[in-house]
Every structure is written in C-alpha cells, then in structure tokens.
Structure 1
Amino acid sequence: MKIPELLAPAGNLEKLKMALLYGADAVYMGGKAFGLRAFSDNFEEHELKQGIDFAHSLGKKAYITINIFPHNDDLAALPDYIRTVAAMGADAIIVSDLGVFRIARQVAPALPIHISTQANSTNWSTVQFWQELGAARVVLARELSLADIRLIREKVAVELEAFVHGAMCMSYSGRCLISNYLTGRDANRGQCAQPCRWKYHVMEESRPGVYLPVVEDERGTYIFNSKDLCLITYLPELIDSGLDSFKIEGRMKSVHYVATVIKVYREAIDAYVSAGGAFHFKQEWLEELQKVSHREYTTGFYFNKTTEQDQIYTSSSYLQTHDFIGLVKEYDPATGRAVVEQRNNMKVGEQIEIMQPGRENFVQTIRAMFDAEGHAIDVAPHPQQIITMPVDKPVVPYAMLRRPEAKRGFE
C-alpha cells in the first residue's frame, strides 16, 4: 500500500515545528518574496535554513513556495534567491509560472520542482507536459473530481498532490483579479485582500446610494464566500486514487489550527494503514476539526460539481468550539508540573483539555498556577506570560492547552 505524504502549511518557524511534531511528513513555506501569502509571517532567509534543517533532523521534508506570477521587475532577484534556497537544502520549490520554472532549471538544475495548484492542471495532458519538462510533482487544480484524479493517475508517472483540507477559493484555483481591481493588491503576486469574504449589496444605476440586498436579507450577502474543504471521512477513496501527497491549506492559520488538523489526519491515515486498508471512521476526528477556527465544511469538487450548498451567504465569520490558551515549554516529572507559555487569559478552576503530539488528549481542571517567581496566582492575564502548573498526566514540549469557548463544555 502506498502511504501518501501528509503535507502541512508553515506560516512561520513555530508553526513549522508544530506541524512536523504533530505528524506532518513535510511542510511548505515561503520566504519574504515570491510567494502567494505575502501577509503570512513568512520566513527570513536564516529562518528558512532553520526550518529546512529542523525538518531534516526529523527525517522529513521542506518545500519552498516561489509560486507568484512574476512581472519583469520581479525577475532580477529571482535567480539568486533560487540558488540560495537550493544551497540551503530545500527538498523542492513550488512554482506556478513557466518563466520561473525555466530560471530554476538554469540556475539550480538539481533542485526538484513542484508545479503549484495555481498552474491550473486540470487534465492528464497538462500534467504529462509538466512531467516531460522535468517536474517532480504536480499539485492538481482544486476543481477536479476524484474520478478526474484517478484518470490522471493512470496516464502519468509524475507525483500527484491535492488539497484535502482548508479554505477554498471562489476563483479558478486561486487565479483572481477581484483583489487587484478593488484594492490594488495583486492576488497573483501574494497580496490578496480576500474580497470574496466581504459583504455585498447591489446598487441600481438611477438610485445611487440606495443599496439593495442581493437576497432577502437586510445584512447583505456574502455571494463569493465558500465553505472550507474537509475530506477526513473519505480517506480510503483518496488513498486508493493514487495521490502521492495530501495537502493541508493554511499558512495564515493559527498554531492551534495547524497542530490540530495535522494530528487528526495523521491519526486517520495511520489507522487506515495499520488496519490493512480497513477504515473505521472515528467521529472524534470530525469533532476535533470543529474545535479549530473554520467555516462550515464541504467536499468541494471531489464528488460532484459545487452548488449553492457549498457557499455561505449569511456570514463570513469563522466557527470554532475551543480556544488555544497555552503552550507547554517543559515538564518536570519529579514535581508533575509543566512550564506553560500563556496564549490566552486562563484562570484557576477552569476545565481545560491538553492535546499533545503522538498521545491522547486528556481533560483536567487547572488546580493551581505559579508565576515566574514561584508565587501562586489565580489568573494568567499577560500575553505569553510564563507560568508553572500541576498537570494530571505527563506532557511533552509543544503540548497545547485549550478550553471550550464560553457556554460550551465537555460532553
């Protein structure tokens, strides 16, 4: 059985470490230029090197995004940047543009190239073209069905990657001009303002200033706002399709999001493989995916063409059931105490959940907390405040503390 790679987004160095420790086989990340997530934290050059080295220390891989559609003035610095990335030991670069592909082949001929979903590869002939040019992998367009993917797999030998979880774009594989038109920010050069998530009304030409709702809703409507992709319940079909890599979207998402989503998909893939292909879906996996910030879920284009049921017309807000409140830095088995970096206000007496890589989650009550000087405190209100607290079970560094949102509790 071919086990697909689980590929995680890494918006910064902390997210990269969390993704790999929570079970990702590889990460994709961008530098300060040439990537399509200009408003993510992204990586300075020395951080790219640290990230690549950290991945390699775990026997895992790191891919660098160079997937903008460059204009002439973008090209001057590009050759040196590609040489630098190659010298750092990147396992591949992800590109969308033929010109970038050409330059990469010239200046770093040994560096593997993955073709971004932005290149809109929707058929086997296109994928075969990239294969013949020497691409190592093609990230398929999000508009493909599972049947499309199976046919492409039969026709080509190159590695295939596809998105299985995360935000969807209302434009064709992300190629959008609305942001550029409305704000001057070019989505195809990494500066998308996400106008697809804005609220819209209609204005009739002869009545300027009179805003009419697009549907019968006084708040307006979010006519471009797609639900988020989630395919956790369809892992057998995805694995059987022959995909080489399952990609999670979210370089601008939180540490909590990255760790939780990766842990769920890791557990599900491993459960399928260890059972010899017999897949017993656990409802708790879907419950975990409800805990992080997300929109309502959809299966996208995988099983049918999308309809109005795959859009959200009433709101662009996110859903989540839990808040991330702390990150474990150290654990002392002699005292049973954990050193925790606060990420959200937390108080003695609150019931929390502790999630950690490779182990089961557990619920406990915060019985006590102590500040950096060892004084007992009832509340930790300061951002990134360092506290110690007793925990009911041993924990590891990068374990996460989270609590149900207000008015929610554990079943």
Structure 2
Amino acid sequence: MKIKPELLAPAGNLEKLKMALIYGADAVYMGGKAFGLRAFSDNFDEAELEQGIRFAHSLGKKAYITINIFPHNNDLINLPDYLKYVAKIGADAIIVSDPGIFRIARQITPNLPIHISTQANNTNWSAVRFWQELGASRVVLAREISLADIKLIRQKVEIELEAFVHGAMCMSYSGRCLISNYLTGRDSNRGECAQPCRWKYHVMEESRPGVYLPVQEDERGTYIFNSKDLCLINHLPELIASGLSSFKIEGRMKSVHYVATVVKAYREAIDSYARSSVSADDQQKWLDELQKVSHREYTTGFYFNKTTAQDQIYASSSYMQTHDFIGLVRKYHAETGMAVVEQRNNMKVGETIEIMQPGAENFVQTITQMFDAEGNSIQVAPHPQQIVTMPVARPVVPYAMLRRPEIRRERA
C-alpha cells in the first residue's frame, strides 16, 4: 500500500465543513470572523468554530484555522486572546502567513502546531527549512513552483509539505496583490479581495476620452489577468511520489455542491491510485464529475511547465457547469423507499435527476412523485429550502445530493 497524503478541503461555513468531511476529506481549513483571507465567505463565529472542530474530531479527522492575513499594527491587538481561544477549543493547527503572527503564536500558544500558508510564497528548500528551524510543523508550498521543485524541496527538508491540487489560481504570487486595494479600497492581503483580475479591461487614449479600445482585438473585450482553474486529478501519482503530505483544495467561497463533488472525486482518485487500480475510464469519470460544478476551464498550472497564454482565459470571466444542485437528503425511510429532501433549486415531477452520495456510485432516476410537508401530492417544489418527500430508486443517506443535468452553459 502506498502512503496516502491527507486530503484537505475548504470549509466556508458549518454546512460546507460537514459536507467536506462526510464526502471524504481527512481535514478541513476554516476561518473565524477575523484574521483570515476570505473575509467574504460566511466564516465561523466562536460557537461555530467549536462545533466544527468537535464534528471533525468525532469522525477522527482534523480542523485547521486560518490566521493568514498580513496584519497591520491594529490587527495585532486582539490576536493573543484569539490564539488562546483557538488553542482552547482544540484546533489541530493554525495556518499563518506573517512572521509577526508566527512569533506571537509561538509565545502565546507554544503547543499549537503552525502551518505556513501558501501566502508566505515558499518557493525553495532554504525558505522551507527556515520555517522548519523556527518550529513550524508544515509548509504550504507556493502555487508558482514546479513538481521538480517540490521533489528537491522534499529531499532537503524534514517537515510536512502541502500543495494545492484543485481550485482557482491567482494572477499574483499566491495572493500578494494590490490591484484590489487600488481600484476598490479593499485589501486583498487582509481578506477583502474584490478579484479585479477577473474584470474586463479596455484602453482609453488620453486625447479621446470615452473611447475605449479593447486590449485585444476581440468584440467581447479581454480579461487579461484571468487564469484558468487548477485541476490535477489525473496527475496524483506524480504528486504522491513527490512526497507531499497533504493535497489541498481551494474554495472557501465555493458552494456546498462544489465542495462535496470535488472532495468525493479526489477521495476516490487518491484511494484508487493508492491501490494501483486506475483505468482510463476512472480518470474520465473523475474529470466528468469535476465538470458538473461551477468552474473555469482547467489547467495544470506551474507543475509541469511555465504557464503560457493557454493557461489564461481572455474572452470571458464566466464559469461553466453541467449540473445544478437541486436538493439535499435529510432522511431516508428504508421501509418505504422514500427520501425527505430539502429543496435547493426549483424541481418538478418528471425531471431526470442524478443522486450523489458519499462512498457510493451516483445513480440517475426520474422524479415520479413528490409530497409536501403535509403529505399532499405536488408537481413542483418552487420554494427555497422547502421540505418534500419522494421515492428514490436506491437507498440513500443523509447529505446525499440531488442534481439536475442540463445542457452545458456558462455562468457569470
């Protein structure tokens, strides 16, 4: 049996945390209401942080808390109390970018493991060894290095190494960008990035105000900073062989459907590669799954070559997906074959749906009947989070997801 790396998933809120772990993640990373680089995800208040950590530990899994902003002086005022709280509630590690936060954490919570964030831009073995010698337990490598770089770093250091395998890419060195600050006043290095790298840009010549010229001769304009999304699902053997300890999925601001689908695909892939039982059909199945969630076109990033124009998207900043998430199973009654479903998108009797659940094959069926909470037969469930009951073709478990295939489209 090959050594399997940890599968680390994003948790933007408590529901996403539960879905990530139920669908196969070994650990999650999440942020409180302060000190994290995803200020516009839901994030966790103190009670939710405790609940999330308890849930992870109840499954024998881990929870890491992000404290990865680049702080200014006033950000440090409440940091000691927050660190004490995070240690008290049993976080398995904190994720840190800034040496100042690292220093205070070592003083205040010396027994709390520290992971060095990708925001610290570690691109060489000497930088990684620097953090090792200071007492860090893991370094999340910069997304801007190659697989060959990772292998050399692994040979030179004795510390856990983590790397991203899936999700959005940044046009700057792992987030060190001031475009958002300049254009919107929102500090990307303190969790408030407005993602102006995804916007459409034109050029205006000084003597012709109001005349906007496309940077690229294309009637749709151009998105000059807009990267494709990272996807390494079919390159996991090389990553496993490189000695990485953890495979990280990006996406604390992504949907529940995104988190569950991506985690399940990578869980199956990691387990299959560890057994050396992977076929071309398996690889295609995982890629097909990753097409079902909202995403940009995929790239392998910096892992195998320097990036080129082929790793960017110049015509649009839209997302694409092949399926809509329409319902979440809350209960299943084996004696009747009926599932209690919480509606997440308009669904109707007669529609063909796919049901995905952890640890089992997806299956397709038609919605033949639906009943509302009072037991009345209904043809459509139009209300958000409406509770309906319907027959399902196979047994399902809580947190199984209903999704509706559709013609492939782009989403703004």
Question: Normalization by structure 2: what TM-score?
Answer: 0.98
Shift of 1:189: 0.1
C-alpha separation in 2, matches of 1:75 and 1:84: 15
- Give the alignment of 1:69-218 within 5 angstroms: 69-218=70-219
Residues 223-255 of structure 1: per-residue CA shift (max 9 Å, x gap): 000000000110110100000000000000000
1:340 matched to 2:341? yes
Residue 319 of structure 1: SS of its match in structure 2?
strand
Shift of 1:405: 2.1
**Alpha-carbon spacing, 1:407–1:9, altered in 2? closer, same or farther (3 Å):** closer
- Residue 43 of structure 1 is matched in structure 2 by 44
C-alpha separation in 1, matches of 2:217 and 2:202: 11
Letter in 1 for 2:302: F
C-alpha separation in 2, matches of 1:398 and 1:164: 25
Q: What is the CA RMSD across the aligned residues, in angstroms?
A: 0.9
C-alpha separation in 1, matches of 2:160 and 2:407: 45
- Give the alignment of 1:256-275 within 5 angstroms: 256-275=257-276
1:245 matched to 2:250? no
- Residue 316 of structure 2 is matched in structure 1 by 315
- Residue 280 of structure 1 is matched in structure 2 by 279
Residue 285 of structure 1: SS of its match in structure 2?
helix
C-alpha separation in 2, matches of 1:71 and 1:279: 49
Residues 114-168 of structure 1: per-residue CA shift (max 9 Å, x gap): 0000000000000000000000000000001000000000000000000000000
Asked if 2 retains the 8 angstrom alpha-carbon contact of 1:136 and 1:158, the reply is yes
Residue 320 of structure 1: SS of its match in structure 2?
strand
Residue 377 of structure 1: SS of its match in structure 2?
coil
- Residue 30 of structure 1 is matched in structure 2 by 31
Shift of 1:279: 3.9
Identity fraction in percent: 83
Letter in 1 for 2:19: M
Residues 258-304 of structure 1: per-residue CA shift (max 9 Å, x gap): 000000000011111123xx543411110000000000000000000
Count of residue correspondences = 406
Letter in 2 for 1:356: Q
Asked if 1 retains the 8 angstrom alpha-carbon contact of 2:324 and 2:406, the reply is yes
Shift of 1:380: 0.1
C-alpha separation in 2, matches of 1:51 and 1:328: 20
Letter in 2 for 1:139: V
Letter in 2 for 1:305: K
Letter in 1 for 2:32: G
**Alpha-carbon spacing, 1:273–1:78, altered in 2? closer, same or farther (3 Å):** same
Letter in 1 for 2:30: M
C-alpha separation in 1, matches of 2:223 and 2:265: 30
C-alpha separation in 2, matches of 1:218 and 1:22: 43
C-alpha separation in 1, matches of 2:392 and 2:301: 41
Any unmatched runs of 5+ in structure 2?
Answer: none
Shift of 1:2: 1.9
Residue 358 of structure 1: SS of its match in structure 2?
coil
Residue 153 of structure 2: SS of its match in structure 1?
helix
C-alpha separation in 1, matches of 2:361 and 2:106: 45
- Residue 377 of structure 2 is matched in structure 1 by 376
Residue 51 of structure 2: SS of its match in structure 1?
helix
Asked if 1 retains the 8 angstrom alpha-carbon contact of 2:3 and 2:274, the reply is no
Shift of 1:208: 1.6
C-alpha separation in 2, matches of 1:344 and 1:405: 13
- Residue 297 of structure 1 is matched in structure 2 by 298
Letter in 2 for 1:312: I
Shift of 1:349: 0.2
Letter in 1 for 2:161: L
C-alpha separation in 1, matches of 2:156 and 2:407: 52
Letter in 2 for 1:255: V
- Residue 332 of structure 2 is matched in structure 1 by 331
Shift of 1:406: 4.6
Residues 294-327 of structure 1: per-residue CA shift (max 9 Å, x gap): 0000000000000000000000000100000000
Shift of 1:52: 0.4
Question: Normalization by structure 1: what TM-score?
Answer: 0.98
Residue 2 of structure 1: SS of its match in structure 2?
coil
Residues 74-123 of structure 1: per-residue CA shift (max 9 Å, x gap): 00000100100000000000000000001101110000000000000000
C-alpha separation in 2, matches of 1:218 and 1:212: 10
Asked if 1 retains the 8 angstrom alpha-carbon contact of 2:322 and 2:408, the reply is no
Asked if 2 retains the 8 angstrom alpha-carbon contact of 1:127 and 1:156, the reply is yes
Asked if 2 retains the 8 angstrom alpha-carbon contact of 1:236 and 1:279, the reply is no
Asked if 1 retains the 8 angstrom alpha-carbon contact of 2:320 and 2:408, the reply is no
- Residue 15 of structure 1 is matched in structure 2 by 16
C-alpha separation in 1, matches of 2:318 and 2:408: 18
Any unmatched runs of 5+ in structure 1?
Answer: none
Letter in 2 for 1:46: A
Shift of 1:219: 2.4
